[in-house]
Each structure stands twice: as structure tokens, then as C-alpha cells.
Chains A and B, each alone.
Chain A
Amino acid sequence: MMAKLTIPEEELMSPGHMGCLGCGATQAMRYVLKAAGRRTILSIPACCWAVMPGVWPNTCLQVPELYTPFETTGASISGIRAALDALGQEDINVIGFAGDGGTADIGIQALSGTADRQDNVLYIMYDNEAYMNTGIQRSGSTPIGTWTTTTPVGSTQEWEKSPKKNMTAIMAAHGIPYIATATTGYPEDIIKKVTKALSIKGTKFMQIFSPCPTGWKMDPALTVSITKEALSSRAFNLFEIENGAYKVTMKPKKTPLKGYLMKQGRFRHMPDDLIAEVEADLDSAYENLLHLEECTRKKA
């Protein structure tokens, strides 16, 4: 019997990579490459993905990849695109693939420059909500209440105190033509959005929520199912912003936030009143998203 597959069969990521058990970021790469195809150049800064392809001379990636300093992904993909334009090779996809720290924190300046110039590139932030490659330190993308090695939970309760940085809103403020969120539990959705992004000229930004069992203190077998609970608890939302118009691409039935949190050691210390506070904020952020969808509809 011929297999009926819902995502492209061709693999541009090989086994033998250095990703941890159940790594969401490797799934993200696998799906992005399935969508982008062979005529793609990747730029990867310091992050898990700087190590996972393998130690020289190995690589698990079947497309050309350029490793760069931590904060330079935006500038690097702009440089690649400028060179391709100069060399008359305009039909090649240029994709930056950076972690949340490399995007929301140290790389935000160069990314802002790229978006401001509307350079024709796709920037992908694979979001595992902390600096995982260096060993689980908090980043701008770490949500409230999270334990990390720099937000330890001792008697003084030094867990992460500030909300997850809203990168899509920051990118929307740059007026770029396409922004989307996605998660590794929905590969078809990633592929659809990457394909769409690559069909649009200008700067495109995607935030792919990618579970990290190691950093989230979670059973690696739960990498896929946890993304479904992240969505239903509103810890992460799937939407697109196309030319300023918001579209919520998945509206799952609400489940309690606590169910999502308690499966992960990084949240298990959170007291009920803090969970209630965070849940109210996440619910209101989701409502806000629906309002944005409503009031930007005409623009679509």
C-alpha cells in the first residue's frame, strides 16, 4: 500500500545529529526544510542548531549553511541576499534560523535592521523559551513563573518575573508583509506557513514554538502532545499577520493552564495564585488576538 503522507517525503535533514531526545527544534528544522526545498541557504547563529548538525566535517543538513556569531543572523541573511542579488541568483530562499535568545535578546538589533530594510529573507525564531544550548538560562522569551538556571526557585522564589517578550508584535511594528507563529506539533501548518512566507517578497518572520524536553524538565515522549496543550491553554497561539491583518489560524477549545504547566518540571513549583494570575493574562492576550483579527479584517 502506498503511504498517504501529509507532509513532503523528501528529507533534507539526516539522522546522526546531536539533538537531545525528543528535541522540538530538530523537528522544526526538518519541517522547514521540507517546505523550503534544496534551493535554500541557511544562516545559523550560536544556538542549539550551531551544534546539532554535527562536529566538523559532519553535517545533518543537505542545504548550504553558514554559521555566524550569535547576534548577527539578521545582518548575515541580508548579506547573503545582497550577494545573491549581485551574482544574479535571485531564485534562492535565504532563511535565518535562530533561537529565542538569539532573536528576542542579542540578535534583535540586527533583525530590526533587516526588517526595516524589508530585505527579501525569511527569519525563523525557534522558540524553546530559554537559552538551552548554554544550559537553560532565562531569555526574553521565557514566560512568567519559569524555573531556569538563572531564575532558580529557592526560598526567595526567584522564578522568571517578566512576561514572554511579544516578538510578533515587535515584528508587526516594522510593517513587514508576513508574520506567523507555528508549533512543531502541527507540521502541516509549519509547511503551509513557510511555503506561504517564501512566496512573498520582503522580510518574513516566523516564530516556531519548539519544546525542549531537557530544558523544560519533561518526558521527551511528550514533545508533540505538549504543544497541543500549549495551544489549548493559550500559553502559545497560532496566527498570521499578513500585511497588517491578523488571522488566528487555530482556535482550540480552552483547557486549564495548570494541566499544561504541571507536565513540566520548570513550572511545577508555581503556586495556584500565580497560575491563576498568569492564566488570566494569557486568556486576555488571546482575547486581544481575536479582537485584532476582528478589527484588522478589512485590511486582508
Chain B
Amino acid sequence: MPGTIDEIPITPINTTNSTAVKTGGWRAFRPICDTDKCIKCWSCWKFCPDVSIAIGEDGPIYDYDHCKGCGICANVCPVKCIEMIPENK
């Protein structure tokens, strides 16, 4: 990150994509999808507040670098194929 007063812009100008910030470390519960049961309705993708679910061939692909483990995906899944597993297990 630029530091000296010659290197910084005159006012904070934000240009770096926040993807560089790994929020996965906040997670206490990890979502795991049983893709055999997944009906690919993409509710999990649609409601993810952390934009951490990609649309995969067989079901959701989690971005565990960013997923905070809120559990919304598991909650909205109509076939209950997503389980929240404690991170320490």
C-alpha cells in the first residue's frame, strides 16, 4: 500500500478490488453442498450476501476465501442439500 505523502493520492481514491480482502477467516460454520441432492435452483447463489457462491456444473461452488458462514444458503435451499459444519471439526 502506498505510504508517503508523495505516493498517496490527494484524497482517498479507492481502486483496489476488495476481493483481495479474505473474509473467510470470519467463518465459524462451513457450508457443504451435497451435489447429488442439488436441484440447481440457484437460490443459494441468489441470496448470498458475500457473493461467495459460483454457479458450477453440479451445484454451488463455494469461495471459502470469502464466505463468512452466515448460513443463508442452507436456510433458503428448498431441498436442504446444504449443511453447515463447524469449522473446528
A and B touch in the complex (CB under 8 A): yes
Listed in ascending order, the chain A residues whose CB lies under 8 Å from chain B are: 1, 3-7, 9, 11, 13-19, 21-24, 26-27, 30, 53-54, 56-60, 62, 65, 187, 213, 219-225
Complex: chain B residue closest to A221, CB-CB:
B71
Q: Is the CB of B72 within 8 A of A224?
A: yes
Besides A4-B42, A22-B72, A23-B49, 9 more A-B contacts (Cβ < 8 Å) are A14-B51, A15-B19, A17-B18, A30-B49, A58-B16, A60-B17, A60-B19, A221-B72, A221-B75
In the complex, the answer to whether B47 meets A16 with C-beta atoms within 8 Å is: no
Nearest-neighbour CB distance to chain B for A39, whole angstroms, equals 19
Q: Give how many A-B residue pairs fall within 8 Å (CB-CB).
A: 117
Q: Which 5 A-B pairs have the closest CB atoms?
A: A221-B71, A15-B66, A16-B18, A16-B21, A22-B70
Distance, CA A65 to CA B15, complexed state (A): 11
Contacting pair A57 B14 (CB below 8 A): yes
- Residues of A within 8 Å of B55, CB to CB, are 3, 5, 9
B75 near A19: Cβ-Cβ < 8 Å? no
Is B46 on the interface with A (CB-CB < 8 A)?
A: yes
Q: What are the residues of chain B within 8 A of A26 when measuring CB–CB?
A: 49-50
Chain A residues lying within 8 Å of B65, measured Cβ to Cβ, are: 15
Complex interface residues of chain B between 63 and 81 (CB less than 8 A to chain A): 63, 65-66, 68-72, 74-76
Q: Least Cβ distance of B42 to chain A in Å? A: 6
B20 within 8 A of partner (CB): yes
Q: Is B5 an interface residue (CB 8 A)?
A: no
Q: Is B10 an interface residue (CB 8 A)?
A: no
B17 touches A14 (CB 8 A): yes
In contact, B52 and A57 (Cβ under 8 angstroms): no
User: Which chain B residues lie closer than 8 Å to A6 at the CB level?
Assistant: 42, 46
Question: Max chain B CB contacts within 10 Å: which of A24, A59, A65?
Answer: A59
| B residues less than 8 Å from A5 (CB atoms) | 42, 45-46, 55
Instruction: List the B side residues contacting A15 at CB < 8 Å.
Output: 18-19, 23, 50-52, 63, 65-66
Contact B18 A21 (CB under 8 A): no
| Residue from A9, A16, A24, A222 within 8 A of B19 (CB atoms) | A16
Q: Are A21 and B69 in contact (CB under 8 A)?
A: yes
A57 and B66 form a contact (CB under 8 A) = no
When chains A and B are docked, how far (Å) is the Cα of A54 from the Cα of B72?
22
B22 within 8 A of A: yes
A22 with B49, Cβ < 8 A, contacts A3-B55, A223-B70 known? yes
The residue in B42, B45, B51 that gathers the most chain A C-beta atoms within 10 A of its C-beta is B51
Contact of A221 with B42 in the complex, beta carbons under 8 Å:
no
Among B15, B49, B71, B72, residue most surrounded by chain A Cβ atoms (within 10 Å) = B49
Q: Are B42 and A3 in contact (CB-based, < 8 A)?
A: yes
Which residues of B have CB within 8 Å of A219? Answer: 71
Assess the B16–A59 pair: CB atoms within 8 A: yes
In the bound complex, how far is the Cα of B47 from the Cα of A26, in angstroms?
A: 10
**Are the CB atoms of B76 and A225 closer together than 8 Å?**
yes
Q: Which residues of B contact A60 (CB under 8 A)?
A: 17-19
Q: Say how far A19's CB is from chain B's closest CB, in angstroms.
A: 6
